[in-house]
Structures are given as structure tokens and as C-alpha cells.
Amino acid sequence: MEYDRQGFVQAKDGTRLFFGIRGPTRATGEDVKAPVILCDGIGCEGFVWRYLHPHLAEDRLVVHWHYRGHGRSGLPPSSSSMTIEQLADDLWLITLPKPGVPALPGAAPSNVYVALGDHPALINPDAVLGVIPMGTGGDFRRTLGMMGGWREAVEALAGTKTRKIDLGILSFVDDAARVDGRVFVNIASMGLSGAVDDLVGKIPSQVGGSAQYTLAVLGAFARWSNVKVDFRFDEIDEVREDLVVAIIANGQFFGGGMWAAPGAALDDGQFQFVMLGDLTRPEAVRTLMSIYRGNHFDSPKVWRRNARSITARAVDPQERVLLDVDGEALGRLPCALNVLPSYINLKV
């Protein structure tokens, strides 16, 4: 990546942190927009930022930095310093004034959250989360109505409008038979969708989000048999279903454009639970095709309800019922899901 200026800052424990700066460093009129910080070190940020970086830098200051122990930043003296809190402190150092470069407004080490105990505890409840949607499916941005691409997302980051949204928290069993946990913002599901998610990563992403997911559906569907699962809602109501797919929705879309939960709201303090029940194979094909238009509730074997907490377990503990959580294959049943109302401040 090309920079106008690059260098290092030193953390309190001596770790050298790399940064590169590109774009206008001082206001030359109203055309200069809010600065952007690109954090690099988890997943493929470097590959994503490589393409966004030159466009963002056309009209704003862009700072790109490497997490400690990653890229051109140095190794920390101890692995115990590889914590979210420490990364937040490192980010704070990156935002401080440098020769010829002003401090970046609005940056703070508290703009992250960290998992503590049973629930993720925000370091700063007033922190605001901004997103630049770059995935192939685009499901969360459909619920947000943010379909104008990365430029629209960057403009939203530079604005002042926010909204409180709910967060889902999930406990489940991982592949090593250990209890694990995860938060999610859009949709968690189980059954055929989990089996599909297990195949999605084996299909080239170049085919596109919807096509990729459809091909995985066909592959998983060929091997699928309905499985009996017990559900409990809000610690009161219990239901046993022959499961094809169960959807626990905070947002409305999943699977590369499937309109799974019409009417689900990110800020109503509850999940929309959608059950695709004991469908025959021909019924399942028709229902899965109709879900792209949100017409799957025309089937008498598809129903929904709202709940704040949901538990699920396979009646036969030997059945391996897989989960799909915001597009990731994480584990299997049994699981428990709870909603954390108005938990995240989202920039919109």
C-alpha cells in the first residue's frame, strides 16, 4: 500500500507499532471529509483495505496501522498483552498528534467491546460502531437499507446519526464438544442452514453471494433428513418440531438475500423465531425458493413467533444439528440464545 508518510510509535511496553498516512492532513475547504483509521491484523483486512485505501484518501486523511505482532509492527514482550484492551490502547497512540499531522477527532480507545463473563461488556457504553459492509451476501446491510456500497457506508461513518440496536448472545457446543459462546447481530439458525454453511466455504466466492448459497443448499439438501428438536421459549413455552431450518432473527435477511424474517426489527428487544417444520422434499424446495420473496409463510408448515430467550436441543443427542451464526459455521446443538436489548450504538 502507498503512503504519503509512514513510521512507528512505541507503546508503553516497548512494542513498535507501524502506521502509514495518506490523504489531506489539514482542511482545505468543505471537500475534506472526516478521517478514517484502517485497523489491520485480524482476518483479511489488509487485502480489503488495499482496494479501499486509495479511494478513501482522495478526500480525507486515512491512517492504516498494523496490530502488535502483525505485519510491520513489532512483537510484544509477552503474549499476555494480546488483549482487546491493549489493542484499544495501541489505537489511541496511533491517533495522537504527529509532526505535520493533527490529532484525529472522535478517536478513543473505548470504541471496542470485550467478552467478560456471560455477556459482552462494553468498555464504553457510549461508543459507536460503524460498519463498511464488504461481504458477498450483503444480508445485514439489506436490513439496514445500506445498499449504496462502501461510499455510502463511509459517508454514514462521517455523519452524526446513530441508532440503538439489539445484540444476540449464543451458547453452544463446538466441534471439540466444549461449551462456547458468541455474539451475533443479524441471524443465527440451525438445521439445514448449518449444513449449508459447512459447504459454502468450498464454493468459489466469484459466483456471487446468492448463487454461492443456492449451490450449497442443493448440496446439503441432497443429504438432509429432518431431525426432531425440542425448543423452549422465554423459559415457559415448549415445542417439539421435525426440523428443516429454525431461524432466530434480529435482522431480516440471511443466505445471500433470503428474506427469512419479514418484519424483524433490530431494536425491538426480541428475536423473531421462524420455523420451517416437517417439510417433504418437494415442499422444502418450494419453500426455500419462496423465502427469497418472503412468501414462505404461505406454507402451513412454516410459522413464527417472538421471544427474548430460546433454547434448543436434539431429541436424540447423537444427532449432529449444526449452527449457522451470521454466516459462520461455529458448532452444534444444544444451544441457548438471548437478546441484549439496545446494546450497540450503530452509526447509520
Give the span between the Cα atoms of 48 and 43, in whole angstroms: 10
pLDDT of amino acid 271? 98
pLDDT of amino acid 294? 96
- Looking at the structure, tell me whether residues 39 and 160 fall in a common domain: yes
Domain boundary among 138, 164, 190: 164
- Run of H or E including 152: helix 149-158
Q: Per-residue pLDDT for the chain (348 aa), expressed as one digit of tens each?
A: 889 889 999 999 999 999 999 988 655 455 567 778 888 886 556 667 887 888 888 888 888 999 999 889 999 998 888 887 888 889 888 887 665 555 554 443 333 333 333 455 566 677 788 887 776 678 988 988 887 777 788 787 777 889 999 999 999 998 888 888 889 999 999 999 999 888 877 787 777 666 776 788 788 888 899 999 999 999 899 999 999 999 999 999 998 889 999 999 999 999 999 999 999 999 998 998 899 999 999 999 999 999 999 999 999 989 999 999 998 888 999 999 999 999 999 988
Q: What is the CATH number of the domain that holds 156?
A: 3.40.50
The number of domains in the chain is 2
Give the span between the Cα atoms of 325 and 335, in whole angstroms: 12
- Looking at the structure, tell me whether residues 281 and 254 fall in a common domain: yes
Domain boundary among 164, 194, 227: 164
- Looking at the structure, tell me whether residues 171 and 241 fall in a common domain: yes
pLDDT of amino acid 205? 72
pLDDT of amino acid 99? 59
Full DSSP string of 67-128? -TTSTTSPPPS-GGG-SHHHHHHHHHHHHS-BTTBPPPTT--TTS-EEEETTEEEES-TT-E
Give counts: helices (H), strands (E), the chain.
7, 18
- Looking at the structure, tell me whether residues 315 and 174 fall in a common domain: yes
pLDDT of amino acid 208? 67
Structural domain of residue 53, as residue ranges? Answer: 5-164
Give the span between the Cα atoms of 235 and 239, in whole angstroms: 12
- Looking at the structure, tell me whether residues 46 and 81 fall in a common domain: yes
pLDDT of amino acid 115? 33
- Looking at the structure, tell me whether residues 152 and 180 fall in a common domain: no
Give the span between the Cα atoms of 86 and 69, in whole angstroms: 12
- Looking at the structure, tell me whether residues 140 and 151 fall in a common domain: yes
Phi, psi of 131 (to 5 degrees): -125, 145
- Looking at the structure, tell me whether residues 186 and 243 fall in a common domain: yes
Helices (H), 190-307: 192-200, 209-221, 281-290
pLDDT of amino acid 109? 37
- Looking at the structure, tell me whether residues 187 and 66 fall in a common domain: no
Strand partners, 240: 230
Domain boundary among 118, 134, 164: 164
Q: What is the CATH number of the domain that holds 238?
A: 2.60.200.40
- Looking at the structure, tell me whether residues 234 and 121 fall in a common domain: no
> Do strands 227-233 and 309-314 pair parallel, antiparallel, or not at all (unpaired)?
antiparallel
Give the span between the Cα atoms of 117 and 125, in whole angstroms: 17
pLDDT of amino acid 116? 32
* 348 located within any domain: no
- Looking at the structure, tell me whether residues 136 and 174 fall in a common domain: no
pLDDT of amino acid 334? 94
Give the span between the Cα atoms of 11 and 90, in whole angstroms: 7
- Looking at the structure, tell me whether residues 150 and 205 fall in a common domain: no
CB burial of residue 237 (10 Å; 0-12, 13-18, 19+): exposed
